[in-house]
Amino acid sequence: MLGPRLELRQSQALVMTPQLRLAIQLLQFSSLDVAAFVEAELERNPLLERDETSDLPDPEAPAPDQQPPGPAPDGRDSSDIVASGILPDDAPLDAATAAIGDPGGPADGDPSFGEAAFGDAPWGAGGGADFAGDERGIDAFAAAEPTLRERLAEQIRLGFADPADRLIAAQLLALLEPSGRLGAAPAAIAQALGLPLERVERVRAAMLRFEPTGMFACSLAECLAVQLAERNRLDPAMQTLLDNLELLARRDLRRLMELCGVDAEDMTEMVAELRRLDPKPGAVSDLPAAPIVPDVLLSAAPDGTWLLELNPETLPRLLVNHGFSARVQAHPAAASREDRAFLAEKLQTANWLVKSLQQRAQTILKVAGEIVARQDGFFRHGVLHLRPLILRDIAAAVQLHESTVSRVTSNKYIATPRGNFELKYFFTTAIASAGGGEAHSAEAIRHRIRAMVGAEKPDDILSDDAIVAALRGEGVDIARRTVAKYREALNIPSSLQRRREKAPLAP
């Protein structure tokens, strides 16, 4: 019988509050992103202040363990400071072009990071900035970095001595599209300049090798072909693949295998190699690369153990002005109901941000500590002792979700005695051992291949089969195709090409 009725149902669902989403984003942010986010919050929230006290200790002040707890000046609570790489004592440390592109990214939700959400108050807007003065330094008056077109113009001046060739090159540069392709056909350019097509093509062929490689191409296939030729990877099968990119866009791999004369495994590797190329070499940023600032510092202790701490330069220094909010709440007549509601919201938001930043710091230190413990051999002896490691291993050890570990290790760097490394560097796949022993790290195998090729003699060039035999003699069960893939990823030419290059060095 149909009709309206009332029913009670019980179900479970993950509620992604705005603050939970922002907590997850904070975990994935790099130190520069966090600094920008904090700057924006300082402008919006009048109760959030930057701690501008000196890092140097006061010799007249008592030791930290002898200072009585109490509020800071102006009524601010000094316990809300996130100021140094050493966490508080009570902090829980256990807490076609489309066919070539490779989009991807982390998932939005993370059911294991619910501890990072502190309250459900919505985020507000408002506030203003205080521009106290001109804080520009000498860097603001330094010469700007040259743009891509300026770099290409400089290569034209250095690459062509003939004025006519320079005129042709300048016309090609003027017709360059943002993607790096040529905006007009070479025949039309030659006709407009009143020059033979052969001469225009000769100049354009030289400009195809300009940096970045592949600029001034007339098509996607030509752009990719130039990049492959520079890597000595433009064989007949690859050229056939480039001539039939429309089949690749349609994912007609069976037809492509027939045309190229390769099997499924070779076709997979060929497509993967195309994905590593740049289909739009002109779409590059003219901004200089940002310097790498490590989030975690690793140093050796005198007793041989490792000292791990957060980099204080990457930790925002924040204070919550509880005194101002308390004074307003204590005198209701001094502020309207809307003002008091606004301050209450901003107080909750400021408390949440400080606690979320502390949670983020604890999680980074927790994950980094487990990585250091797992890769102790690498830090002591080098890359050959890098052990196979996956996200699941760390997640199980620190009792976090794999997606949380993935976010923690993205865009986070650690400064070690062996240099700066991204935390994701220490996650490598495993290569089985020929004797059934402990597996080998793929990164260690790549390092070994590079060392073997670097030590080969001009009259004894190692083929891929010889490298396989040598590695199996060292207890590594590896296939020839895997060796070829690792060699190409390291930009090491084939044995035939290396023999040609090193032949003049032979006695």
Angle, nearest 10°, between helix axes 197-207 and 186-193? Answer: 120
| Domain presence at residue 296 | no
% of the chain beyond a pLDDT of 70: 75
Q: How confident is the model at residue 500 (pLDDT cuts 50, 70, 90)?
A: confident
Strands 413-416 and 296-300: parallel
Q: Do 259 and 153 belong to one domain?
A: yes
Nearest-angstrom CA–CA distance, 218 and 221: 8
At 209-247, the pLDDT tens digits run 888 888 899 999 999 999 998 888 888 888 999 999 888
Whether residue 169 sits in one domain with residue 235: yes
Higher pLDDT: 300 or 438? It is 300
What is the DSSP code (8-state) at residue 438? S
- In the block, tokens 């690792």 appear at 486
Q: Lowest-pLDDT range, 13-17, 197-201, 248-252, 431-435?
A: 13-17
Fill in the amino acid letter for 503.
Answer: A
Q: Does a structural domain hold residue 260?
A: yes
Q: pLDDT confidence of 82, banded at 50, 70, 90?
A: very low
429 falls in which pLDDT band (50, 70, 90)? Answer: confident
Q: What is the pLDDT of residue 368?
A: 94
Rg, Å, the chain Cα set:
30
Task: Supply the CATH number for residue 214's domain.
Answer: 1.10.10.1330
Q: Is residue 331 part of a domain?
A: yes
- Token pair belonging to 53: 């006290």
Could you write out the DSSP letters of every residue in 371-390?
HHHHTHHHHHH-GGGPPPB-
Above 50 in pLDDT, residue 401? yes
Which pLDDT score is estimated for 99? 39
Q: What is the CATH number of the domain that holds 472?
A: 1.10.10
Shared-domain flag, residues 477 and 437: yes
Whether 397 shows a pLDDT value over 90: the answer reads yes
The pLDDT of residue 170: 87
Of 449, 445, 99, 494, nearest in space to 272 by CA: 99
Is 203 inside any structural domain? yes
Q: Which two tokens stand for residue 255?
A: 């037809």
CA distance 506 to 501: 10
pLDDT at 35 over 50: yes
Number of folded domains in the chain? 3
Whether 142 is in a domain gets the answer no
pLDDT score of 25: 80
Tokens of 286: 């003219």
pLDDT digits (tens, 9 = 90+) for 111-164: 333 333 333 333 333 334 444 455 555 555 555 677 888 888 888 888 888 888
pLDDT tens digits, 255-310:
888 899 888 888 888 888 888 888 888 876 454 556 788 999 999 999 989 999 99
List all residues 6 or more positions away from 6 whose beta carbon is below 8 Å from its beta carbon: none
- For residues 336 and 416, membership in a common domain is answered with yes
Last residue of one domain, picked from the residues 427, 453, 486: 427
Per-residue pLDDT, 84: 35
What average pLDDT is seen over the chain? 77
Check whether residue 365 and residue 351 sit in a common domain.
yes
Highest mean pLDDT among 298-312, 332-346, 428-442: 298-312
Asked whether residue 474 falls in the same domain as residue 501, the answer is yes
DSSP H/E element including 328: helix 322-330
User: pLDDT confidence of 31, banded at 50, 70, 90?
Assistant: confident
Specify whether the CB–CB gap between 401 and 110 falls below 8 A: yes
What is the mean pLDDT of the segment spanning 391-415?
A: 91
> Which tokens in the block code for residue 488?
């190409």
CA distance 41 to 34: 11
Are 158 and 178 members of one domain?
A: yes
Q: What letter would DSSP give residue 84?
A: S
* Residue 79: pLDDT band with limits 50, 70, 90: very low
| Percent of the chain at pLDDT exceeding 90 | 14
Is the domain of 363 the same as that of 479? no
Confidence of residue 503 (pLDDT cuts 50, 70, 90): low
- Could you read off the pLDDT of 189-214 as tens digits, one per residue? 888 888 889 999 999 999 998 888 88
Domain-located, residue 100: no
| Residue 431 pLDDT grade (very low, low, confident, very high; cuts 50, 70, 90) | confident
Domain that holds residue 154: 148-275
Report pLDDT for 76.
40
H runs (alpha helix) in 112-185: 148-159, 163-174
Band the pLDDT of 46: cuts 50, 70, 90.
confident
pLDDT at 413: 92
Q: Mean pLDDT over residues 340-362, rounded?
A: 86
Q: What is the spatial distance between Cα 484 and Cα 467, in angstroms, rounded to a whole number?
A: 10
Residues 476 and 376 in one domain: no
Are residue 461 and residue 415 in the same domain, yes or no? Answer: no
Same domain, residue pair 443 and 459? yes
Domain end call among 372, 403, 427: 427
Q: Which residues pair with 306 in a beta bridge?
A: 300
**Is the residue at 168 inside a domain?**
yes
From 260, 275, 290, the end of a domain falls on: 275
pLDDT of res. 375: 92
* Statement to judge: residues 417 and 439 lie in one domain: no
Q: Which of 17-26, 89-98, 268-277, 486-495 has the least mean pLDDT?
A: 89-98
Q: Is residue 124 part of a domain?
A: no
Structure tokens at 346: 């901003």
> Given the structure tokens 């000094």, which residue do they identify?
78
pLDDT range class, residue 372, cuts 50, 70, 90: very high
* pLDDT value at residue 288: 53
User: What residue type is assigned to position 190 of the chain?
Assistant: A
Nearest residue to 213 (alpha-carbon basis) of 232, 202, 229: 229
Write down the pLDDT at residue 333: 64
